[in-house]
């Protein structure tokens, strides 16, 4: 018996040791300004380890030498350039064992503490710069009392120490850089640049200071305070905290207003990569092995993790407004292996973030990112019966459209993108080299956005509430470009959630699918009814809305040519979307169109069409009363089915019969229905209604239940050929 007890005790101890085993892990500390928090994440997996609330609008963080405490400045102000808020007066001290705030160090009366550092060779001295009263405050960490203080140059925002702790290097924006005796506060030298200095660091050998300016990086001799040399003409605006990777291979420079990090070859001193990380990249921390760089994005809800071997970005979800950042090692309980059950939808955007159009591109990205963060915070985008976390990968076009094909290929090679957001209105869709990805239509410039379909504002209720939410979230006003990019994303969400019908299936083979083109009235309830019928029979369906993103009300107000051209322009977008997101077989896609849409599907299948618009290779097309009388001699690819009412006086049956005669050699089948008018399948119509067209001609619409139900059976029979 004793023997069995001993064995049991040994087994329990082994299980206990396994369950609570720890490993040395790199921890990422992130100051989340908008959330008034500091959270701690595993740097390898991004898993949240813990966190704590701190003061208002915290900014910077530093880790104690013994890795037991973190110090966080509660700045209280949004930014050096945007003084929104109430100046703070404290430093939060966080226990790195529990990840909770222990206490606060008080800096004074609303003096806005910002930069903070532990003095080298003096581990009990914490230096803090306060921006309202332009001082350096020195705390004795043994007593948590202020030990001394001294004045600094107005505009001082942050600082670093010399490696021996003897000198302070103060950066003060447009007032340049000052060299200060760390003990006495005596200013022993100053350097003034032509541009504001917003970042300050050493080269790895401490022989030069690296100053981050506007469109330039300055290398300063720390002894003479003379410029050694510059890297300029970087095609960006203000650069913040540049860092050198530990292996001295790269200089990484966050260009805050351009939303990108410059990767500069440290030897050749040229830009080799522009990596768009998020809105307002601020701080960068590089792993000790130079494998990864972590970037905070001041107006986003994520930290960007850059693989420094291939420059591919992944993201660590955070709370809003990531700012200060620090890496440190800590014994962490080994996580049990878990499967990431989250579904991801990855799309891409090419935007001009540098060059002549950088402000336009920045505003576009603000709209995209505001939408992305808002939708992800509420569970993601619903497609079928699943919710998807939205990722957007960006590339900077540098305001040069000649870069577009190469950038599209690069971003497709690096990321599993399913669709791409257009640049301006049709720059990507008009490029003949870019055909193998779904290009989302960019929302048209309108005179009155408050008249846009209400479903595009459904997350906020109205345009006015959207503008308020945008301003509250980003501390910026919503521009027209930002609104158009937001509406583009909202339209995409609606298209995927409401207009994409995916049958539940366990079949791993890709199935045939259908694109449905609406009538002259735009997408209406009867389009959804047809989609439900087809989904019930196993067909994925995408209802293509070509009017909403263009601001079109109906065909009558814009004319025939504009209306059908819009549908043809959107066909490749719909085709690629159905393939990449609906996972449909690319060789088994069919078209179904009604009235105007019925005409458009015939134009899409026309072999000798003079239209410059690219149409994918559809296998078949079904045209319901599609104005066949508008065609002359022609020829069609694939299989065609015509569905017509014998009493149609809007698009007469005689036109369908003539089309068959004029399209010799084409595979066309005609289904016609007795006593059926134009719109015979629309159950929302009465049996007959008299109308006038724009030329004053009288015609009739009417529902015919018999013809409707027969046409469903006939259509399904035709679709078997997919």
| pLDDT at 162 exceeding the cut of 90 | yes
Separation CA 457–CA 464 (nearest Å): 10
What are phi and psi for residue 411, nearest 5 degrees?
-70, -30
Regarding the domain with residue range 27-243+320-332, which homologous superfamily does it belong to in the CATH classification? YVTN repeat-like/Quinoprotein amine dehydrogenase (2.130.10.10)
Instruction: State the pLDDT at residue 5.
Output: 57
| pLDDT at 427 exceeding the cut of 90 | no
Give counts: helices (H), strands (E), the chain: 11, 42
Instruction: State the pLDDT at residue 509.
Output: 78
With residue 145 as reference, give the H or E element that holds it. Answer: strand 145-151
Regarding the domain with residue range 348-498, which homologous superfamily does it belong to in the CATH classification? Response regulator (3.40.50.2300)
Which of 3.40.50.1820, 3.40.50.300, 3.90.1150.10, 3.40.50.720 is the CATH number of 499-722? 3.40.50.1820
- Greater confidence (610 vs 144) lies with 144
How far is residue 355 from each of residues 185, 233, 367, 398, 399, measured CA to CA in Å?
42, 11, 20, 5, 5
| pLDDT at 596 exceeding the cut of 90 | yes
Instruction: State the pLDDT at residue 609.
Output: 66
| pLDDT at 80 exceeding the cut of 70 | no
* The two structure tokens encoding residue 391: 């990722």
- Greater confidence (645 vs 610) lies with 645
Instruction: State the pLDDT at residue 614.
Output: 80
Instruction: State the pLDDT at residue 338.
Output: 59
In this prediction, residues 531-551 reach a mean pLDDT of 96
With CA atoms as reference, report the closest residue to 383 among 217, 495, 228, 305. 495
Instruction: State the pLDDT at residue 359.
Output: 96
| pLDDT at 554 exceeding the cut of 90 | yes
| pLDDT at 13 exceeding the cut of 60 | no
How far is residue 666 from each of residues 33, 606, 620, 634, 645, measured CA to CA in Å?
65, 10, 12, 9, 22
| pLDDT at 3 exceeding the cut of 60 | no
| pLDDT at 510 exceeding the cut of 90 | no
What does the DSSP assignment read for 25-45? EEEEEEEETTTTEEEEEETTT
Is it true that domain 244-319 has CATH number 2.60.40? no
- Greater confidence (450 vs 45) lies with 45
With CA atoms as reference, report the closest residue to 653 among 666, 670, 668. 670
| Strand ranges of the sheet holding 438-440, from the earlier edge strand across to the other edge | 381-383, 386-396, 343-351, 419-421, 438-440
End-to-end alpha-carbon separation of the chain, Å? 72
Instruction: State the pLDDT at residue 608.
Output: 74
| pLDDT at 19 exceeding the cut of 60 | no
What does the DSSP assignment read for 623-645? EES--GGG--S--BSSEEEEEEE
Instruction: State the pLDDT at residue 339.
Output: 58
Q: How confident is the model at residue 18 (pLDDT cuts 50, 70, 90)?
A: very low
Instruction: State the pLDDT at residue 4.
Output: 56
* The two structure tokens encoding residue 584: 């449909």
In this prediction, residues 177-181 reach a mean pLDDT of 97
Q: How confident is the model at residue 695 (pLDDT cuts 50, 70, 90)?
A: confident
Lookup result for tokens 């979800």: 317
Residue ranges covered by each domain of the chain: 27-243+320-332, 244-319, 348-498, 499-722
In this prediction, residues 137-155 reach a mean pLDDT of 96
Instruction: State the pLDDT at residue 56.
Output: 96
With CA atoms as reference, report the closest residue to 410 among 250, 273, 575. 273
| pLDDT at 81 exceeding the cut of 70 | no
Instruction: State the pLDDT at residue 6.
Output: 54
Q: Is the pTM of this model over 0.85?
A: yes
* The two structure tokens encoding residue 280: 């307002």
| pLDDT at 321 exceeding the cut of 50 | yes
Would you say 365 and 279 are in contact if contact means Cβ atoms under 8 Å apart? yes
Instruction: State the pLDDT at residue 50.
Output: 97
Determine the 3-state secondary structure of 660 from DSSP. Answer: helix
Separation CA 272–CA 255 (nearest Å): 15
* The two structure tokens encoding residue 178: 């000052």
Instruction: State the pLDDT at residue 492.
Output: 96
With residue 314 as reference, give the H or E element that holds it. Answer: strand 313-317
Separation CA 221–CA 420 (nearest Å): 46
Is-same-fold flag (348-498; 499-722)?
A: yes
Show Cβ contacts of residue 637 under 8 Å, excluding neighbours closer than 6 positions. 605, 606, 607, 617, 618
Instruction: State the pLDDT at residue 308.
Output: 98
CA angle 522, 525, 529 (to 5 degrees): 120
Instruction: State the pLDDT at residue 346.
Output: 96
Separation CA 500–CA 82 (nearest Å): 43
Instruction: State the pLDDT at residue 10.
Output: 53
| Strand ranges of the sheet holding 48-53, from the earlier edge strand across to the other edge | 48-53, 37-42, 22-32, 322-333
- Greater confidence (5 vs 447) lies with 447
Separation CA 576–CA 441 (nearest Å): 13
In this prediction, residues 677-700 reach a mean pLDDT of 95
Instruction: State the pLDDT at residue 404.
Output: 86
Separation CA 467–CA 383 (nearest Å): 27
In this prediction, residues 552-560 reach a mean pLDDT of 93
Separation CA 141–CA 105 (nearest Å): 10
CA angle 191, 82, 91 (to 5 degrees): 80
Q: How confident is the model at residue 703 (pLDDT cuts 50, 70, 90)?
A: very high
Instruction: State the pLDDT at residue 17.
Output: 46
* The two structure tokens encoding residue 586: 């690319």
| pLDDT at 508 exceeding the cut of 80 | no
Summarised one tens digit per residue, pLDDT across range 226-248 is 999 999 999 999 999 999 999 99
* The two structure tokens encoding residue 279: 């809105």
Count of CB atoms situated within 10 Å of the CB of 507: 8
| pLDDT at 12 exceeding the cut of 80 | no
């Amino acid at each position: 018996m004793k023997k069995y007890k001993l064995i049991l005790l040994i087994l329990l101890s082994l299980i206990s040791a396994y369950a609570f085993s720890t490993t040395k892990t790199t921890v990422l500390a992130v100051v989340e300004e908008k959330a008034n928090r500091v959270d701690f994440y595993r740097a390898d997996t991004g898993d949240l380890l813990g966190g704590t609330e701190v003061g208002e609008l915290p900014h910077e963080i530093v880790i104690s030498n013994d890795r037991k405490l973190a110090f966080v400045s509660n700045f209280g102000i949004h930014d050096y350039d945007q003084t929104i808020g109430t100046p703070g007066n404290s430093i939060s001290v966080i226990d790195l064992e529990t990840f909770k705030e222990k206490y606060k160090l008080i800096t004074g009366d609303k003096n806005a503490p910002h930069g903070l550092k532990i003095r080298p060779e003096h581990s009990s001295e914490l230096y803090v710069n306060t921006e309202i009263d332009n001082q350096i405050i020195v705390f004795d960490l043994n007593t948590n009392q202020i030990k001394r203080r001294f004045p600094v140059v107005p505009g001082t925002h942050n600082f670093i120490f010399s490696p021996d702790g003897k000198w302070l290097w103060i950066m003060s924006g447009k007032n340049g850089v000052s060299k200060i005796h760390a003990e006495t506060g005596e200013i022993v030298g100053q350097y003034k640049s032509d541009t504001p200095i917003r970042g300050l660091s050493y080269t790895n050998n401490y022989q030069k200071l690296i100053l981050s300016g506007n469109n330039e990086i300055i290398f300063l001799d720390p002894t003479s305070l003379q410029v050694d040399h510059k890297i300029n003409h970087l095609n960006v605006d203000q650069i913040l905290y540049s860092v050198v990777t530990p292996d001295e291979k790269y200089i990484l420079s966050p260009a805050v207003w351009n939303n990108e990090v410059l990767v500069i070859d440290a030897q050749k001193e040229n830009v080799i990569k522009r990596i768009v990380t998020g809105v307002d990249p601020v701080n960068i921390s590089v792993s000790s092995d130079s494998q990864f760089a972590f970037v905070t994005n001041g107006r986003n809800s994520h930290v960007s993790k850059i693989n420094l071997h291939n420059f591919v970005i992944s993201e660590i979800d955070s709370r809003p407004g990531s700012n200060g950042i620090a890496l440190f090692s800590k014994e962490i309980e080994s996580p049990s292996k878990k499967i990431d059950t989250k579904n991801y939808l990855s799309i891409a955007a090419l935007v001009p973030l540098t060059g002549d159009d950088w402000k336009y591109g920045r505003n576009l990205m603000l709209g995209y990112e505001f939408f992305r963060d808002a939708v992800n915070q509420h569970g993601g985008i619903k497609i079928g019966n699943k919710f998807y976390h939205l990722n957007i990968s960006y590339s900077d076009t540098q305001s040069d459209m000649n870069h577009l094909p190469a950038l599209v290929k690069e971003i497709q090679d690096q990321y599993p993108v399913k669709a791409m957001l257009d640049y301006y209105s049709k720059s990507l869709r008009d490029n003949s080299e870019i055909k193998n990805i779904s290009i989302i239509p960019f929302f048209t410039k309108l005179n009155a956005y408050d008249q846009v379909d209400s479903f595009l504002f459904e997350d906020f209720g109205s345009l006015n509430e959207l503008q308020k939410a945008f301003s509250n979230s980003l501390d910026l006003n919503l521009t027209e470009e930002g609104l158009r990019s937001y509406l583009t994303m909202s339209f995409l969400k609606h298209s995927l959630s409401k207009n994409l019908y995916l049958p539940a299936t366990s079949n791993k083979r890709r199935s045939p699918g259908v694109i449905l083109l609406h009538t002259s009235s735009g997408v209406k309830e009867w389009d959804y009814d047809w989609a439900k019928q087809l989904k019930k029979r196993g067909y994925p369906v995408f209802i293509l809305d070509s009017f909403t993103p263009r601001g079109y009300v109906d065909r009558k107000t814009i004319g025939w040519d504009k209306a059908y051209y819009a549908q043809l322009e959107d066909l490749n977008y719909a085709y690629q979307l159905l393939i990449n997101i609906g996972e449909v077989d690319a060789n088994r896609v069919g078209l179904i169109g009604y009235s105007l849409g019925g005409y458009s599907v015939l134009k899409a299948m026309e072999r000798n069409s003079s239209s410059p618009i690219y149409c994918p290779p559809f296998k078949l097309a079904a045209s319901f009363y599609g104005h066949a009388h508008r065609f002359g001699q022609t020829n069609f690819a694939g299989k065609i089915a015509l569905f017509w009412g014998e009493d149609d006086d809007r698009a007469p049956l005689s036109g369908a019969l003539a089309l068959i005669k004029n399209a010799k050699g084409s595979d066309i089948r005609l289904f016609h229905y007795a006593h059926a008018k134009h719109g015979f399948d629309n159950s929302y119509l009465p049996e007959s209604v008299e109308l006038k067209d724009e030329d004053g001609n009288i015609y009739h619409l009417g529902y015919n239940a018999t013809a409707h139900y027969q046409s469903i059976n006939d259509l399904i029979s035709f679709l078997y050929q997919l």
